[in-house]
């Protein structure tokens, strides 16, 4: 039985902790804040409740597997999963609207043909077939296996089977999502639909590799799900599963350093007397046989004082990432019957939005793409005469939280609300109050510089969208969560927990889940 110290109580860290405890190890989690969940938090006021992190759950099989492997109660016995249907309503720049059924290729094709014109659904359906091929080629190395030592193979190969595109005397294949849209979908509304999946993860579709097609494919193939009571309920369920498996949690425990002995991680240093070392005696030092770190790369670098975390030639975790602005709305009047859970209101000038977000200056478009979440959930409102809505928009990460930045985001929140009125026409008349969650709030919760939010790992583009391996150059030190393989997003966090547990339990020969 090994002593394992886990830094941080995010979703990936807790997934690893539960699996390691079931394997017979003694696991203790040290979290600097007073609660669990990492970015999966909740804001409550006046009887309203909102998720301030992810609002929907793709690929729930990851957490079903976690609960099957760590106890007798399945996930559905601990939370209520609801399949969101339609998967999303889209409001395009020209005013066209379409509601896409959840996990139904035939239904999506029909809906697109009816809304956008004959042939649109067929082109999207054919794209999904090619996206499935990219998924089949990348699923194991990017999601289910530890990052290959020869990760450069993933960095060089584009797994998306692009359709040959003839232009003048040359034949080319799409290398980016933007080229996939322009050459294979050939409708600005289908292009917006495709690119919105990259933008939601803070990725520029003009630079995102073509195999970013797996992002809409995951949603299409496995459906979109909501957890009744909010995604925070999923974090609660994972935390309670950890506690049931005898994982120790120490909240308000700030880790100030990782101990190293003879080239191996040997424990933690804590801010004086903030916690207990595996329940035996208080003090600033925790001895451990393994250390699992679930924090942002720059935080980990600060904890390792005497050794480099990554060896020469290893893939470095994605450093430049966008963030999110979230506007929480408390409305008078109940949620109208038949309202879509999720509506994506697309930017009226997509190129302007992308130039603003991903240009050198790192700004924000006046009329950005906005996702409107309107859950049909009595747990989130004081009564049936009110509605809770969350608006999200991708914004640049910000290095500081000065007054000027706060005022900038307040102004941008007003723009976001104005865009949302295209989906909720009576929004301002019903508005009781709103709350703005900025990149600085994300930074405060996660420790990530500028409130950056990690994207999922993708192949090609010289490895720029791969994430650092879960194992490190320091023996006994492992990384978990969105900033390490396989990257950001709720399913990926759960997968990283499974990978770290496998590497510790089975050793370097671990080849991934079967």
- Judge if 193 and 254 occupy the same domain: no
Report the distance separating Cα 494 and Cα 479, nearest Å: 13
Domain assignment present for 363: no
Query: What are the pLDDT tens digits along the chain (514 aa)?
Result: 899 999 999 999 999 999 999 999 999 999 999 999 999 999 999 999 999 999 999 999 999 999 999 998 999 999 999 999 999 999 999 999 999 999 888 999 999 999 999 999 999 999 999 999 999 999 999 999 999 999 999 999 899 999 988 776 688 889 999 999 999 999 999 999 999 999 999 999 999 999 999 999 999 999 999 999 999 999 999 999 999 999 999 999 999 999 999 989 999 999 975 444 444 334 589 999 999 999 999 999 999 877 788 887 788 655 568 999 999 999 999 999 999 999 999 999 999 999 999 987 778 888 999 999 999 999 999 999 999 999 999 999 986 667 778 888 999 999 999 999 999 999 999 999 999 999 999 999 999 999 999 999 999 999 999 999 999 999 999 999 999 999 999 999 999 999 999 999 999 889 887 5
Q: How far is CA 376 from the centre of its chain?
A: 22
Coil, helix or strand for 434? strand
Contact 101, 111 (CB under 8 A): yes
Considering 176, 197, 220, which residue would you say is the last residue of a domain? 220
On whether both 30 and 115 belong to a single domain, the answer is no
Looking at the structure, tell me whether residues 131 and 212 fall in a common domain.
yes
Same domain as 214, residue 108? yes
**In the listed set 171, 192, 220, which residue is the last one of a domain according to the structure?**
220
The reply to whether 122 and 140 lie within a common domain is yes
In a domain, residue 414? The reply is no
343: in domain: no
Task: Confirm whether 33 is domain-assigned.
Answer: yes
| Exposed e or buried b per residue across 225-262, where buried means at least 16 C-beta atoms within 10 angstroms of its C-beta | bbbebbbbbbbbbbbebbeebebbbbeebebebbbbee
State which of 169, 198, 220 marks the end of a domain: 220
Report the alpha-carbon distance of residue 423 to residue 344 in Å, rounded: 8
Considering the domain architecture, whether residues 143 and 199 belong to the same structural domain is answered as yes
- 307 lies in the same domain as 198: no
Does 195 share its domain with 247? no
Number of structural domains (the chain) is 2
CB atoms within 10 A of CB 393: 26
Strand partners, 291: 5, 477
Q: Tokens 């996930």 sit at which residue?
A: 75
Domain shared by 108 and 185, yes or no: yes
Looking at the structure, tell me whether residues 174 and 198 fall in a common domain: yes
User: Quick check: helix, strand or coil at residue 387?
Assistant: strand
d(CA 390, CA 13): 27
Enclosing H/E stretch for 384:
none
In a domain, 182, yes or no: yes
Who's near 336: CB < 8 A, 6+ residues apart?
Answer: none
Question: What CATH number did the domain enclosing 276 receive?
Answer: 3.50.50.60
| Domain of 185, in residue numbers | 101-220
CA 183-465-89 angle, 5° bins: 55
In a domain, 59, yes or no: no
Judgement on whether residues 137 and 210 belong to the same structural domain of the protein: yes
Q: Which residue has the tokens 């760590």?
A: 70
Q: Do residues 200 and 105 share a domain?
A: yes
């Amino acid at each position: 039985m090994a002593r394992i110290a886990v830094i941080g109580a995010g979703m990936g860290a807790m997934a690893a902790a539960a699996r390691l405890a079931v394997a017979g190890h003694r696991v203790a989690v040290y979290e600097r804040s007073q609660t669990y969940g990492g970015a999966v938090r909740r804001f409550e006021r006046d009887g309203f409740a909102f998720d301030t992190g992810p609002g929907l759950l793709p690929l729930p099989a990851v957490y079903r597997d976690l609960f099957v492997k760590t106890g007798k109660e399945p996930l559905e016995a601990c939370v209520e999963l609801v399949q969101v249907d339609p998967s999303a309503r889209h409001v395009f720049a020209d005013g066209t609207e379409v509601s896409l059924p959840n996990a139904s290729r035939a239904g999506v094709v029909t809906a697109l043909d009816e809304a956008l014109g004959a042939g649109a659904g067929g082109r999207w359906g054919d794209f999904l077939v090619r996206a499935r091929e990219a998924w089949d080629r990348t699923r194991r190395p990017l999601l289910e296996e530890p990052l290959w030592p020869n990760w450069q193979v993933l960095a060089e190969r584009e797994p998306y089977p692009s359709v040959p595109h003839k232009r003048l005397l040359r034949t080319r294949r799409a290398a980016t999502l933007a080229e996939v849209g322009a050459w294979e979908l050939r409708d600005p509304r289908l292009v917006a639909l495709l690119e919105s999946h990259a933008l939601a993860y803070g990725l520029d579709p003009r630079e995102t590799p073509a195999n970013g097609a797996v992002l809409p494919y995951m949603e299409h193939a496995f459906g979109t799900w909501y957890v009744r009571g909010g995604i925070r309920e999923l974090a609660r369920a994972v935390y309670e599963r950890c506690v049931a498996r005898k994982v120790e949690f120490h909240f308000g425990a700030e880790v100030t350093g990782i101990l190293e002995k003879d080239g191996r991680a040997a424990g933690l240093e804590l801010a004086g007397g903030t916690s207990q070392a595996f329940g035996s005696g208080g003090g600033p030092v925790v001895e451990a046989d393994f250390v699992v770190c679930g924090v942002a790369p720059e935080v980990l670098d600060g904890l390792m004082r005497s050794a480099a975390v990554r060896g020469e030639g290893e893939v470095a975790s994605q450093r430049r990432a966008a963030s999110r602005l979230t506007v929480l709305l408390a409305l008078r009047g109940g949620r109208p019957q038949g309202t879509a859970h999720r509506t994506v209101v697309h930017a009226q000038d997509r190129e302007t939005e992308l130039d603003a977000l991903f240009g050198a200056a790192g700004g924000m478009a006046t009329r950005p793409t906005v996702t409107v979440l309107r859950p049909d959930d009595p747990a989130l409102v004081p009564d049936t005469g009110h509605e809770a809505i969350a608006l999200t928009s991708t914004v640049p990460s910000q290095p500081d939280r000065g007054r000027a930045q706060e005022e900038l985001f307040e102004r941008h929140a007003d723009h976001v609300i104005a865009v949302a009125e295209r989906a909720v026409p009576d929004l301002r008349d019903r508005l009781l109050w709103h709350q703005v969650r900025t990149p600085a709030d994300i930074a405060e919760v996660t420790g990530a510089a500028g409130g950056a939010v990690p994207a999922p790992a993708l192949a090609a583009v010289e490895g720029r969208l791969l994430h650092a391996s879960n194992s490190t150059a320091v023996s006994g030190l492992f990384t978990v969560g969105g900033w390490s393989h396989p990257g950001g997003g709720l399913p990926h966090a759960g997968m990283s927990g499974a990978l770290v547990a496998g590497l510790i339990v089975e050793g370097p020969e671990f080849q991934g889940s079967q």
